[in-house]
Amino acid sequence: MRGALVLMLPLVLAGCDSPLSTLTPAGPAARDIAGLWWVMLGGAAVLTLLVLVLLAMAFGPPRQVRARVWTHWLGLGLSFPVLGAMLAAGLWVGERVLPRDDGALQIKVHAVQWFWEFTAPSPDGPVTTRDRLILPAGEPVDLIITSSDVIHSFWVPQLGGKMDAIPGRENRLRLQADAPGRLAGQCAEFCGVGHAVMRFEVEVVEAGDWEEALRDAANDGDAEDD
Amino acid sequence: MTDSTAPGQQVATPADARDDTLAIAPNPPRRALGLHRRLSRVWANDPGWWGHVTAVNHTTLGLRFMGTALVFFLVGGVLAMLIRAQLATHDGAFLDTELYNQIFTMHGSIMMFLFAIPMLEGLAIYLLPKLLGTRDMAFPRLTALGYWCYLFGGLIMLTALLFGVAPRDGWFMYTPLSGATYSPGINADVWLLGVTFVEISALCAAVEITVTILRQRAPGMKLTEMPLFAWYMLGTSVMMLVGFPPLILASVLLEIERAFDWPFFAVARGGDPLLWQHLFWLFGHPEVYIIFLPAAGVLSTLIPVLCRTQIMGYGAIVASVLALVFLSFGLWVHHMFTVGIPHMALAFFSAASLLVAVPTVVQVFAWIGTMWQGRPQLVLPMYHILGFFLTFVMGGLTGVMLAVVPFNWQAHDTAFVTAHLHYVLIGGFVFPMMAAAVWWMPQITGRERVRGLGEAAFWVILIGFHGTFFIMHLTGLLGMPRRIDVYPDNPEWVWLNLTSSIFGFVMTIGFGLFVLDMALQAFMGQKQRRDPWRAPTLDWAMPLPAPPYTFASIPAPQHLDLPAREVITILARGEGLLPGAPRDRRELLTTSLGTARPDHVALLPGNTALPLGLASAIGGFVLLMLAGLYALTLLPLVLVAMLIWRWGRGMVRPVDDAPIEVAPGLSLPLQGWRRRTLGWTGSVCLLVANGTLFASLVFGIGFLALVASEWPGPEARVTSAALPWVAIAALMPVLGALAQRRSDALQRRGGDGSAAAGLGVVANSVAVAALAVLALGHMDDPTQHARDALRGVLAGYVALHALIGAGMAGFAMDQFRRAEITARHAGLLPVWRLWQDYAAVTALVAALLAVGLGMSA
Ligand code: HEM
Ligand SMILES: [Cu+2]
Ligand SMILES: [Cu+2]
């Protein structure tokens, strides 16, 4: 128990102020996945311990053992239920975070070596911002992700999984942010010398303020007007 | 496998062909020293430095493979230390990004292609003949060729690193980043050409490992009872035969795209970058098991001996190996969960990826059960085995986590994956290999270990390893992507990375100690007594260090169940089969596939510099390609063809040899009398690999036609005027196959088939000519669209096969003229037949595909 606490300590320490952490979720998708992770971690710890105990017990005088018990009961009997449960959990969470055709807000994400362009619809026409994504809180948003040079990957760890930006195709990713605030995003697929600095900020605003924030951004220097 | 088509003298076969216990009378004992001297003279390498050039012996080459792989491991390790030093602080002290990218790309590529694969090949080449009770690998010159290709390919990559032009697009070289637009310069070409060069050695090794296991086991060593290591290696080699071709195809296509601008991956002209990913991971996932299976084979060999018991669940383990081989080709997409794949497909590949864990779990429990059943001894190899268990189990568990799709979306391409892959690679490969090193070093050096140092090395490595990589799981979950060189805005990652870096250096010290331990043993150890581990397997039934001829006589069925230390003297005194070298040539016994009944005596070629010559010619081709002197590459290619002809001539044997009495009352024919020689089986293996390459190409065509966005392309210019030429190109190889049949029939009757073989030359040549007409006059510009580029590749594939068919027909014609093909001796005919049939079938399929890609009216 003490051991476990000591192990958790760095986690707790690291938990505060880590803007790219998958373990401090700020949206339902990331929260589901983080939950999945903690459960899987627990399971993995138990299984590792089991193997280690069995190994430790092997050091002793020879024992009468039946091969079937090991290869079938433990080998098959243990692995199938564990793996089956993992598959089911994965499918369940996967289904929950998947985009569906419910008319959610769509924002275009275009990756270029080495920056991001976000284009959101607004009453005065589409607004494009660079390296800055503005999201309404509490609403599902579908990101339509493209690239015209090499492969990149769009990732806001606190909101959910990543999705590649691939030339010649449009990928869709659904994210939702809980509350207003500032989050961070980055490119996750190696894309050349600028890969490490291909970052962007995510500004989550109250849903009612979203259009206004967009308008501000359009008037800002941030907006692209070429 | 026994074949009755060879006419001639009646050959004695053991008592009852149905009875599967095989009784073979022992030869009378002789003076061991006499046998040893004569055998050594026949089997030894040439003296002096020239001997290093011409050596073809499996013991020499196996060690050379492993030694070279160790050097590359150290180089890869130094690069790892540079990576760790760079990441120790957030603003990356000393490497610029360009160089950093080269370094992590080279680290990964070296570790996978120049360390792990050659290391396991070397282990198999060194060990298999000894374990199976034969004298050498099936194709000694191929072993040597493989080594030189590996060495030259590796040197090309290292040289590029020294000159700062090493590959820099990551070890999986995703397009379009690795394409000509975003990676100008030769960096990417170094990877594509260098790695493909090295892969020649993987294919050579895979062919001979398969043939050696299937056809050279000691008499009575049934397939279903052979040592488990052989089962693991059989699985590995089959995976190599099927796994490497997709990567070779992908590399060739990308190199053609880079060099000649034929689009395969470029979206605007009908390509698709995902084609690269599919082909790469179709190789890349099996690759992981190619690396793991031999290591698991080592564990299955060592654990029972170290516990003084038998392995538990032999059948379950064999079934697991076969299941792994099969399943591992069905999960490559789990490396592509974030590319935007339909949810159904994700579910399928997720399930398959989880399922593949089952056979591994079965093995792990079989090993632990074996330990329960016996009395484990806590000696140094056991330390490494325990290190394996701890590390590999954790790596496997993070592996199944990554197979859960939503979690993969978060963890993919982060330090979590870096941690996972090192847990499985170092846990599942490096620890077992260290156990293997400790185990077989006495046999290699004939000396004992110096006590204490090895144990210290183990502890330092273990602590260093877990200190480095355990917290990297957390680093990844806190959001650190892989392949970044600086992280100025993330102070929260600093302490994690710093810790990893410090322990990384601890681990390096550990590996240093390990190498030091091996060096001390080699140079200062006490003389080792025979059979130090009291092992049951034949690899210890020989004097230490292992003699060049391996066994003075081949073990008979009754020797297989005796402990090694009792068999040593029996075999050394020539009481087994085929004792000594009375005819002063390298001979070994081939046996049947399932039950290992003696089949014939094979003659192996002796020392020769031909492999070095051939590898140098291929190397010349690679260098000219790198230099962009494409027209000049014809020169080395002609040289390659000439050397291969010489190679074939070197195989030709006198035809009138009498059967050899390998044991009292058991006479066997020489290889020439059998149509199914080792060479024939090897050709089948090669065609399996070739067929996989072709199937990958067909997959690529289908994939682009169905998935790529810019299809159908611009109106094709090619018209029905091309059809007659297509028909000629497709049907001429069929005519070649008929000509081959005719030569065969004449050979059986003892007639002269040279005219028929000549027809084979003509038919194949006409096919090549028709393809030339098509290429020059009828086909669309291949740079225009992927469709036209693919048609060009199909034409090239058919032309190459017809060309080789013509060469084989010509070779057979020459053999008829020299009277080397007779009623009893089929020469090259059986192999030509395989090739020609294959060429005919693929030509027909290729023609249909090429036409099916569409033409204008
Ligand atoms: C000697 C100890 C080792 C250390 C300290 C080490 C360290 C590292 C690090 C830090 C990276 C990540 C670079 C990055 O993407 O940020 C890496 C990548 C990698 N390592 Fe190692 N490694 C070691 C041994 C090995 C071994 C033995 C293998 C394989 C048998 C291996 C295979 C790889 C591969 C395939 C990559 C991925 C390269 C890429 O992303 O293109 N490493 N290693
Ligand atoms: Cu990137
Ligand atoms: Cu994989």
Q: What is the mean pLDDT of chain B?
A: 93
Compute, in degrees rounded to 10, the torsion defined by CA atoms B747, B749, B751, B752.
-20
pLDDT interval class at B16 (50, 70, 90):
very low
Based on the fold, state whether residues B162 and B242 are members of the same structural domain.
Answer: yes
Distance B336 CA to ligand 3 centre (A): 9
Helices (H), B404-452: 405-411, 415-425, 431-445
**Ligand 1 atom showing the smallest separation from residue B171 Cα:** 41
Q: Among A144-158, B573-587, B666-680, name the one with the lowest average pLDDT.
A: B666-680
Based on the fold, state whether residues B720 and B657 are members of the same structural domain.
Answer: no
For residue A167, say if its preceding peptide bond is cis, omega within 30 degrees of 0: no
Q: For residues B438-458, give the mean pLDDT.
A: 92
Give the SS3 label for residue A136: strand
Half-sphere exposure of B649 (CA within 13 A, CB side): 13
Q: Which stretches in chain A have pLDDT values below 70?
A: 1-16, 221-226
* CATH number, residue B750: 1.20.120.80
Q: For residues B11-21, give the mean pLDDT.
A: 44
A55: burial class by Cβ within 10 Å (0-12, 13-18, 19+)?
Answer: buried
The pLDDT assigned to A71 comes to: 86
Q: Does pLDDT of B17 surpass 60?
A: no
pLDDT tens-digit readout, B588-634 = 999 999 899 999 999 999 999 999 999 999 999 999 999 999 999 99
Neighbours of B750 (CB within 10 A): 11
Based on the fold, state whether residues B117 and B253 are members of the same structural domain.
Answer: yes
The pLDDT assigned to B853 comes to: 87
Distance B422 CA to ligand 1 centre (A): 7
Based on the fold, state whether residues B612 and B747 are members of the same structural domain.
Answer: no
pLDDT tens-digit readout, B313-355 = 999 999 999 999 999 999 899 999 999 888 888 999 999 999 9
The pLDDT assigned to B364 comes to: 96
Based on the fold, state whether residues B658 and B717 are members of the same structural domain.
Answer: no
Structural domain includes residue B323: no
Q: Output the CA–CA distances (angstroms, integers) from residue B799 to B189, B262, B694, B729, in the order listed.
A: 25, 18, 14, 8
Structural domain includes residue B50: yes
Contact of B486 with chain A, judged by CB distance below 8 Å, is answered with yes
Structural domain includes residue B34: no
Domain final residue pick, B629, B644, B662? B662
Smallest Cα distance from A160 to chain B, Å: 7
pLDDT tens-digit readout, A12-27 = 554 457 899 999 999 9
The pLDDT assigned to B4 comes to: 36
Q: Among B20-24, B158-162, B214-218, name the one with the lowest average pLDDT.
A: B20-24
Give the SS3 label for residue A205: strand
Based on the fold, state whether residues B652 and B777 are members of the same structural domain.
Answer: no
Structural domain includes residue B224: yes
CATH architecture, range A105-225? Sandwich (2.60)
Based on the fold, state whether residues B656 and B725 are members of the same structural domain.
Answer: no
Based on the fold, state whether residues B716 and B658 are members of the same structural domain.
Answer: no
Q: For residues B727-734, give the mean pLDDT.
A: 96
pLDDT tens-digit readout, B96-114 = 999 999 999 999 999 999 9
B351: left (phi over 0), alpha (psi -120 to 50) or beta: alpha
Q: Does pLDDT of B706 surpass 50?
A: yes
Domain final residue pick, B627, B662, B697? B662
Chain A interface mutation, best of B187, B477, B703, highest count of A Cβ atoms under 10 Å:
B477
Q: How far apart are the first and last CA of chain A?
A: 60
Per-position DSSP letters for B362-417, written without gaps between them: HHHHHHHHHHHHS----SHHHHHHHHHHHHHHHHHHHHHHHHSHHHHHHHTTBHHH
* CATH number, residue B216: 1.20.210.10
Half-sphere exposure of B154 (CA within 13 A, CB side): 27
Structural domain includes residue B557: yes
Give CA–CA dist B377/B6, Å, rounded. Answer: 53
Domain final residue pick, B662, B687, B720? B662
Structural domain includes residue B295: no
Number of compact structural domains in chain B: 2
The pLDDT assigned to A3 comes to: 44
pLDDT tens-digit readout, B176-204 = 999 999 999 999 999 999 999 999 999 99
Q: Does pLDDT of B11 surpass 80?
A: no
Based on the fold, state whether residues B205 and B60 are members of the same structural domain.
Answer: yes
Complex ipTM, two decimals?
Answer: 0.93
Of A65, A86, A150, the CB nearest to B373: A65
Based on the fold, state whether residues B111 and B248 are members of the same structural domain.
Answer: yes
The pLDDT assigned to B6 comes to: 37
Structural domain includes residue B847: yes
Contact of B483 with chain A, judged by CB distance below 8 Å, is answered with yes
Are residues A167 and B373, on separate chains, in Cβ contact within 8 Å? no
pLDDT tens-digit readout, A110-140 = 999 999 999 999 888 899 999 999 999 999 9
Instruction: Give the type of residue at B854.
Output: G
Based on the fold, state whether residues B575 and B721 are members of the same structural domain.
Answer: no
pLDDT tens-digit readout, B733-790 = 999 999 999 999 999 998 999 999 999 999 999 999 999 999 998 888 999 999 999 9
Q: So where are chain A's domains?
A: 22-96, 105-225
Structural domain includes residue B534: no
Based on the fold, state whether residues B170 and B79 are members of the same structural domain.
Answer: yes
Q: For residues B405-432, give the mean pLDDT.
A: 97
Are residues A75 and B365, on separate chains, in Cβ contact within 8 Å? yes
Are residues B478 and A22, on separate chains, in Cβ contact within 8 Å? yes
Q: Does pLDDT of B574 surpass 90?
A: yes
Give the SS3 label for residue A134: strand
B507 is written with which tokens?
Answer: 């681990």
Cβ partners under 8 Å of residue B100, min gap 6: B83, B86, B92, B485
pLDDT tens-digit readout, B118-143 = 999 999 999 999 999 999 999 999 99
Are residues A83 and B355, on separate chains, in Cβ contact within 8 Å? yes
Domain extent, residue B129, equals 46-289+551-662
Q: Which residues in chain B are contacts of A93 at CB distance < 8 A?
A: 406
Q: Read off the pTM.
A: 0.94
Substitution candidate for ligand 1 out of B87, B417, B422 with most atoms within 8 A of CB: B422
pLDDT tens-digit readout, B513-524 = 999 999 999 888
